[in-house]
């Protein structure tokens, strides 16, 4: 679905922030990218979305590497970037307006989504009236409304407090089965990565290392207390230590 | 709509008190004969002169000036927005126009205005030209700067949705520039009154500026002040009008 081959990128006059990165995401997978801050995670996303172009290597979306990548994937940046002058519903409609689809036709469907995201009651509210968790859910729904099959989520829960984060995890795990999307997820939270992902890529300077998470789905948030989970987490921590 | 007097008094009470004190002091000084009334007329004399000339001022001079201000502001608004947006979209246009705009503001208005009289004669257009020259600058700058601030992150987000430059302009940059543009308009509308008055001082047969100049020639300081009072009132009313429009437009952009 999304294939990245031998990707190298450097900002002007600097040494590459990563070299020869290869990542492969299959349809319906939830894949996380972990790396220390400054390892170029966000840059990787900008390359995939087409905001930046790679120095070397290829990025294929649905097997296709020709033409502009802009508008091919759903991108959720670190900050929610909700428009303060638009209500929740209007914010969610933004991608449809941009792609010039008849947004009115979709309203009943969008209402369904809002309900599924627990946002039905705040449909007419403005972003400043929402809690942090709600804002992230609106931003996530907006990303889904792009209608793209691949979603790139850049630390979507990074700014939330740990309790809200937990709730968002269990909410997302519950939703995952019916979502039918492919997700590439940036985080520096190991627990989050293991809990949510099918596979994890450790992003280092020279290489990217792949780790499979073989925990069965559907998962619950209580999983984090089970011994398999803890072992996995220890292993991951060791690998990261080695990288550095 | 019910006015909340307590709040109103809290907002404007001190200003009101200071005004009353200043006016009383002023009246007292002039009445005591410390300053001759042809140099500084007392507030009551200004008021009487205003009443006396009211018919003439309101029927003839005020509408003439107001017309110049409104036409000048209208053209400045359309032109200013056009140039500001144009400079936003074209770097070449920005590089060409920005220095000219700055230079246009360094020209002493009083010095260049006689040239406008030469070009446009004593018609309304000479005053409008002066008005536009003063009033267009804040609109262009506030539009251009306002559009520049529209966050890069939002722009990138819309790009990833496949948005065109025009869509980004419409959905993100314009709404984000609106507060800045409206601040520019508030400044500009006040400058319009100044511009029209300068234009009239230099050559006119009607208008509050013309009236105050004629009265100043006759050493009727009270009538000069009466005209100035009306001009200032006009500026305030226009300013409040834009402020009101601003509040309506920005209700949802700047919340709280």
Cβ neighbour number for residue A82 with a 10 Å cutoff: 23
Q: For residue A237, name the pLDDT band (cuts at 50, 70, 90).
A: confident
Selection from A101-110, A198-207, B219-228 with the highest mean pLDDT: B219-228
Q: What is the pLDDT of residue B229?
A: 93
| B169: chain A residues, CB-CB within 8 Å | none
Residue of chain A whose alpha carbon sits nearest to that of B172: A83
In a domain, B105, yes or no: yes
Q: How, if at all, do strands A56-61 and A30-34 pair? A: unpaired
Give the start-to-end residue ranges of the domains of chain A: 1-73+149-162+171-244, 79-147
B27/B51 same-domain check: no
Domains identified in chain B, total number: 2
Stretch B165-185: mean pLDDT: 92
B4/B104 same-domain check: no
Q: What is the mean pLDDT of chain B?
A: 90
Q: Would residue B72 be called left, alpha or beta, if left means φ above 0 and alpha means ψ between -120 and 50 degrees? A: alpha
| Pairs from A158-162 (Cβ < 8 Å, separation ≥ 24) | A158/A78, A158/A187, A158/A188, A158/A189, A159/A78, A159/A79, A159/A132, A160/A132, A160/A133, A160/A136, A161/A132
Selection from A27-36, B145-154, B239-248 with the highest mean pLDDT: B239-248
Residue from A42, A83, A98 to probe the interface with B (highest B Cβ count within 10 Å):
A98
B240/B186 same-domain check: yes
Cβ neighbour number for residue A53 with a 10 Å cutoff: 11
The three-class DSSP label of residue B201 is helix
**String of DSSP letters for B29-84:** HHHTTSS-TTTS--HHHHHHHHHHHHHHIIIIIHHHHHHHHHHHHHHHHHHHHHHH
B172 touches chain A (CB under 8 A): yes
Q: What is the pLDDT of residue B135?
A: 93
Q: What is the pLDDT of residue B238?
A: 96
Query: What would the CATH number be for the domain defined by A1-73+149-162+171-244?
Result: 3.40.50.300
B160 touches chain A (CB under 8 A): yes
Decide if pLDDT at B237 tops 90.
yes
Contact B161 A146 (CB under 8 A): yes
In a domain, B157, yes or no: yes
Decide if pLDDT at B40 tops 50.
yes
Q: What is the pLDDT of residue B66?
A: 95
In a domain, B256, yes or no: no
In a domain, B111, yes or no: yes
Scan for tokens 């987000």, then name that residue: B157
B243/B123 same-domain check: yes
The pTM for the full model equals 0.82
Give the one of B157, B162, B256 whose C-beta lies nearest to A77's C-beta. B157
Scan for tokens 């036709």, then name that residue: A105
Q: For residue B241, name the pLDDT band (cuts at 50, 70, 90).
A: very high
Minimal Cα–Cα distance from A49 to chain B, Å? 6
Q: What is the pLDDT of residue A142?
A: 93
In a domain, B255, yes or no: no
Per-residue pLDDT reduced to its tens digit, A109-120: 888 889 888 888
B136/B216 same-domain check: yes
Per-residue pLDDT reduced to its tens digit, A131-180: 888 999 999 999 998 888 899 999 888 888 888 888 889 888 888 888 88
Contact A126 B252 (CB under 8 A): yes
Contact A99 B171 (CB under 8 A): no
CATH number at residue B123: 1.10.3720.10
Q: What is the pLDDT of residue B256?
A: 45
Q: For residue A103, name the pLDDT band (cuts at 50, 70, 90).
A: low
B253 touches chain A (CB under 8 A): yes
Counting residues of chain B whose pLDDT is more than 70, the rounded percentage is 96
d(CA A97, CA B184): 30
Stretch B175-194: mean pLDDT: 94
B237/B132 same-domain check: yes
Residue B45: domain span = 41-250
Residue of chain B whose alpha carbon sits nearest to that of A69: B160
Minimal Cα–Cα distance from B230 to chain A, Å? 38
Residues written for chain A:
244
Contact A51 B159 (CB under 8 A): yes
First to last CA, chain B: 21
Give the one of A70, A81, A146 whose C-beta lies nearest to B159's C-beta. A70
Q: For residue B20, name the pLDDT band (cuts at 50, 70, 90).
A: very high
User: Of the candidates A114, A93, A121, A88, which has an alpha carbon nearest to the alpha carbon of residue A105?
Assistant: A93
Q: For residue B19, name the pLDDT band (cuts at 50, 70, 90).
A: very high
In a domain, B46, yes or no: yes
């Amino acid at each position: 679905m999304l294939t990245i081959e031998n990707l190298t990128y450097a900002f002007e006059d600097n040494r590459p922030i990563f070299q020869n990165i290869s990542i492969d995401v299959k349809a319906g997978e939830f894949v996380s990218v972990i790396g220390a801050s400054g390892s170029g995670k966000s840059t990787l996303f900008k390359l995939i979305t087409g905001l930046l172009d790679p120095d070397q290597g290829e990025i294929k979306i649905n097997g296709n590497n020709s033409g502009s990548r802009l508008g091919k994937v759903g991108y959720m940046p670190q900050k929610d970037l909700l428009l303060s002058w638009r209500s929740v519903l209007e914010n969610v409609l933004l991608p449809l307006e941009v792609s010039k689809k008849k947004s009115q036709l979709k309203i009943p469907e969008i209402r369904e989504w809002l309900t599924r995201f627990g946002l039905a009651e705040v449909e007419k509210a403005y972003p400043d009236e929402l809690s942090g968790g709600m804002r992230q859910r609106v931003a996530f729904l907006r990303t889904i409304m792009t209608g793209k099959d691949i979603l790139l989520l850049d630390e979507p829960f990074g700014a939330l407090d740990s309790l809200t984060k937990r709730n968002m995890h269990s909410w997302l795990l519950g939703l995952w089965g019916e979502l039918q999307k492919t997700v590439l997820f940036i985080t520096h939270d190991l627990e989050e990565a293991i809990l949510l992902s099918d596979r994890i890529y450790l992003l280092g300077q020279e290489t990217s290392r792949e780790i499979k998470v073989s925990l069965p789905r559907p998962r619950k948030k209580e999983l984090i207390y089970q011994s398999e989970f803890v072992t996995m987490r220890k292993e991951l921590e060791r690998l990261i230590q080695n990288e550095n | 709509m019910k006015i909340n007097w307590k709040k109103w008094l809290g907002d404007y009470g001190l200003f009101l008190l200071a005004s009353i004190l200043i006016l009383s002091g002023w009246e007292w000084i002039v009445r005591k004969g410390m300053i001759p009334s042809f140099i500084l007329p007392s507030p009551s004399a200004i008021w009487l002169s205003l009443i006396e000339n009211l018919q003439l001022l309101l029927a003839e001079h005020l509408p003439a000036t107001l017309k110049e201000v409104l036409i000048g502001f209208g053209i400045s608004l359309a032109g200013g927005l056009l140039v500001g947006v144009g400079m936003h979209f074209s770097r070449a246009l920005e590089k060409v126009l920005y220095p000219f705009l700055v230079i246009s503001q360094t020209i002493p208005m009083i010095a260049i205005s006689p040239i406008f009289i030469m070009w446009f004669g004593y018609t309304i257009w000479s005053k409008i030209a002066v008005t536009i020259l003063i009033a267009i600058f804040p609109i262009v700058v506030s539009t251009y700067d306002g559009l520049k601030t529209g966050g890069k992150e939002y722009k990138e987000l819309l790009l990833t949705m496949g948005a065109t430059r025009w869509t980004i302009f419409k959905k993100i940059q314009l709404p984000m520039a609106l507060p800045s543009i409206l601040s520019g308009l508030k400044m500009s509308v006040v400058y319009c009154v100044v511009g029209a008055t300068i234009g009239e001082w230099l050559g006119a047969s009607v208008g509050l500026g013309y009236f105050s100049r004629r009265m100043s020639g006759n050493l009727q300081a009270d009538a000069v002040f009466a005209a100035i009072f009306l001009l200032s009132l006009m500026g305030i009313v226009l300013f409040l009008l834009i402020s009101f429009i601003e509040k309506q437009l920005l209700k949802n952009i700047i919340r709280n």
